[in-house]
Structure 1
Amino acid sequence: MDKYDELILHALVENGRLTYAELARRVNLSPPAVAERVAKLEAKKVITGYHAHVNLEKLGLPIAFIVELRLNHNHWQNTLKMLTRIPEILQCFRVTGEACVIIRGAVGDMAAMEAFIERISQFGATKTSIILSAPVERIAPPGAAVTEGLKKV
């Protein structure tokens, strides 16, 4: 990884829809050189995908939440498989600590929230927090943190 790869990565984190021509202009390389570098970053799994950021409220899902789930058994693999089938779940993390699983999701109203909690309570004890706002929302660490991480690749 060199400074050009870092510049390309920073630009794509900011806007994943940049064309190779625009990326080339920003990092002062030719479009074919940028395309080759992006392909290498993808091959190394530094870039793992390109995503749209979706406004959940506009989709009718204004209530975002975090649920800590403490499993009541050791069959976590089966539980995780079942959790992938629940559409309200946006992310699911297997974690250390008191909870076994952390779930981030969204629902349309409090009745849907209650139904969701009842549904996953079959797997264990839950602790639910409603997300009021997200003052920090990133897909990668900013600036120097990314640069330091890239030096290890």
Structure 2
Amino acid sequence: MGAIFFYIFIYFVSYYGSAIFNMFTVRPLITNRFMAALVPVVVVAIMHAYMIVTKPPPSSQDITVESAIFTYVIMPVIIVTLGAIYFMWNTRKEEEEAEETARRAIEDADENELDDDEKATDTSVEKTVSADATDPDVAKDKNKDSDS
């Protein structure tokens, strides 16, 4: 149980360390922090497995080297990797939803502008038509044009 927390701690330190590193650079050098944070986890897991293999297990525990590596190295790394993949997938989904919402908002704003322009044009045409109909001089001019 302690090994899982140990590898999770290493993962989060690496994840936020890469975020801080990206803040110091002009442009982000680490684009996928979820996977980049797994590199130190794997390095520590390899060192941890090496230490388990080269040193004899404690005499008080009846455990083999294979079960120790599986319990204290492989399973925690698999759990951390699955968590990283889940968070990466979840974040990408949220980003896609945010992009879709922004795109729809822009399209709605464009449609509203077009509707407002059409209403303004329709209103000015109606005013011109109603002014022509109520102004007797304009009506006489139209009659003269139609008589010729």
Question: Shared fold (TM-score greater than 0.5)?
Answer: no
Higher relative contact order (CA 8 A, sep 6+): 1
Structure with the larger strand share: 1
Q: Based on CA coordinates, which of the two structures has the bigger radius of gyration?
A: 2
Structure with the larger helix share: 2
Provide TM-score, normalisation by structure 1.
0.22
Provide TM-score, normalisation by structure 2.
0.22
